[in-house]
Homo-oligomer: A and B are copies of this chain.
């Protein structure tokens, strides 16, 4: 882990929401080779009360008036970056599509590489970290309606700090 602290929430955005385009129409989002998509805004990630650096998100599906019950986002974490360690009631499905990462989940640290797919169950403490020199990018699917993440309890943090599996990653 470097000393570049880039906490961001992987699934909650504050008040600065991109206005929804209320059109429930089919749409084609062409991929550019730089991990952006035509017709999808590249957004900075700005959680309340935290700094961020070189973190971006694309909301591919969910902000354009779609009627499906889920949202699809692409997150990218720069070298040395990591998401906040948090939990929430809503589930995550995460698919690595760029670079190399690690996931803290289920009181373990998992290597998280291309096309590895993870289900993060309700109230599971989790964190995603860039484990390489290149950008680490992942797709993340969530229910469209979801609760706000919360930080871990002292007891939960203590458990992770004491565990052989996770102690080197947890501050």
Which positions in A face B, CB cutoff 8 Å?
A: 24-31, 35, 37, 60-61, 64, 66-70, 72, 90-91, 93, 95, 97, 103, 105-106, 110, 113-122, 124, 126, 139, 141-143
A26-B118 contact given A66-B91, A70-B69, CB 8 Å threshold: yes
A106-B26 contact given A64-B119, A119-B64, CB 8 Å threshold: yes
> A68, B95: Cβ atoms under 8 Å?
no
> A31, B113: Cβ atoms under 8 Å?
yes
**What are 18 of the A-B contact pairs (CB < 8 Å)?**
A24-B121, A26-B124, A27-B119, A28-B105, A28-B110, A29-B116, A30-B116, A31-B116, A37-B115, A60-B93, A61-B117, A66-B121, A67-B91, A67-B122, A68-B93, A70-B141, A72-B141, A141-B141
Among A24, A117, A118, which residue has the most Cβ atoms of chain B within 10 A?
Answer: A117
